[in-house]
């Protein structure tokens, strides 16, 4: 089954300074409050299910660690759910919180017309395990297997289909950080990775890699983690 993927580019105006340690929390809260204004999407937000969207942090990146009051920044939000794309496009630009006000949205449909060679994490990729940090519990092979399982389950859920689980998805991985990246989430620090994933050239691998551009490649994509960019051949 073909995958439709949209990117919503949201311009926001900052009403307060935001420290870089808090920026993902504030962007997630902005999206959450938008969903909660509609009864249907409020239930969607509360449900324990895959959300079908992921998002990046504020852009341009702050060079001094503070996103400044009075400036305009961009948030990239991607989704594979057409109805959610329409909702975000209409409602995010009308929303505001104590920290930011929506200004305008622009929707781009991302085409899947090339071979996806690599996935590159923009925000820390999170893989949950029984330990606070996956390296205390998993091998690299198991880490990659967790990513494959997440993407397979999402595909099966969104498209009511079943992916062949025996086909190779990844042919390599490179970790771009020397130490785990700690990001503030509620009252704890979440430990993640910046990675570059090599994608196999078979149809299933390409389909799941493309899906990950909308849904994130790991856990907590609806909190701003696991947001991926493509490198095409």
DSSP string, 58-127: -BSPPSSSEEPTT-EEEEEEEES-HHHHHHHHHHGGG-B-SSEEEEEEEEEEPP--S-EEEEEESS-BB-
CA nearest to 155, candidates 97, 80, 67, 63? 80
Q: Answer yes or no: is pLDDT of 159 > 90.
A: yes
User: Which helix (H) or strand (E) segment is 13 a member of?
Assistant: strand 6-14
**What pLDDT band is residue 162 in, cutting at 50, 70 and 90?**
confident
Predicted pLDDT at 163: 85
CA distance 228 to 82: 19
Instruction: Take residue 211 and report the two structure tokens written for it.
Output: 């899906």
CA distance 215 to 205: 15
Buried/exposed 72-83: b ≥16 CB within 10 Å, e otherwise? ebebbbbbbbee
Instruction: Take residue 68 and report the two structure tokens written for it.
Output: 């400044």
Alpha-carbon Rg for the chain in angstroms: 17
What are the Cα distances from residue 35, in Å, to 24, 195, 198? 17, 30, 34
pLDDT-above-90 percentage for the chain: 91
Q: Answer yes or no: is pLDDT of 1 > 70.
A: no
Mean pLDDT across the stretch 90-117? Answer: 96
Chain segment 17-53, per-residue pLDDT in tens: 999 999 999 999 999 999 999 999 999 999 999 999 9
Give the chain's end-to-end CA distance (angstroms, integer): 22
More confident residue, 114 or 143: 143
pTM of the model: 0.95
Q: Answer yes or no: is pLDDT of 165 > 80.
A: no
104 contacts 211 by C-beta, under 8 angstroms: no
Chain segment 45-91, per-residue pLDDT in tens: 999 999 999 999 999 999 999 999 999 999 999 999 999 999 999 99
CA distance 33 to 48: 17
What's the whole-number average pLDDT of the chain?
A: 95
SS3 191: strand
Domains for the chain: give ranges and CATH numbers: 6-109 (3.30.70.1890), 116-232 (3.30.70.1900)
Predicted pLDDT at 194: 97
């Amino acid at each position: 089954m073909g995958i439709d993927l949209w990117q919503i580019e949201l311009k926001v105006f900052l009403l307060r300074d935001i420290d870089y340690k808090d920026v993902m929390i504030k962007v997630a809260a902005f999206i959450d409050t938008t969903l909660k204004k509609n009864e249907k999407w409020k239930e969607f937000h509360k449900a324990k299910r895959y959300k079908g969207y992921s998002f990046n942090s504020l852009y341009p990146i702050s060079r001094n660690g503070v996103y400044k009051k009075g400036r305009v920044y961009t948030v990239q939000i991607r989704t594979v759910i057409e109805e959610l794309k329409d909702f975000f496009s209409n409602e995010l630009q009308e929303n505001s919180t104590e920290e930011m006000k929506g200004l305008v949205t622009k929707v781009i449909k991302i085409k899947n017309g090339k071979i996806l060679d690599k996935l590159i994490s923009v925000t820390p990729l999170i893989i949950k395990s029984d330990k606070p940090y996956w390296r205390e519990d998993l091998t690299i092979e198991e880490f990659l297997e967790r990513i494959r399982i997440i993407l397979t389950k999402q595909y099966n859920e969104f498209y009511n289909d079943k992916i062949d689980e025996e086909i190779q998805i990844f042919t390599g991985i490179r970790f771009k950080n020397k130490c785990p990246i700690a990001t503030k989430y509620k009252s704890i620090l979440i430990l993640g990775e910046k990675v570059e994933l090599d994608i196999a050239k078979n149809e299933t691998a390409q389909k799941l890699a493309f899906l990950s551009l909308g849904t994130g490649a790991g856990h907590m994509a609806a909190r701003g983690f696991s947001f991926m960019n493509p490198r095409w051949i």
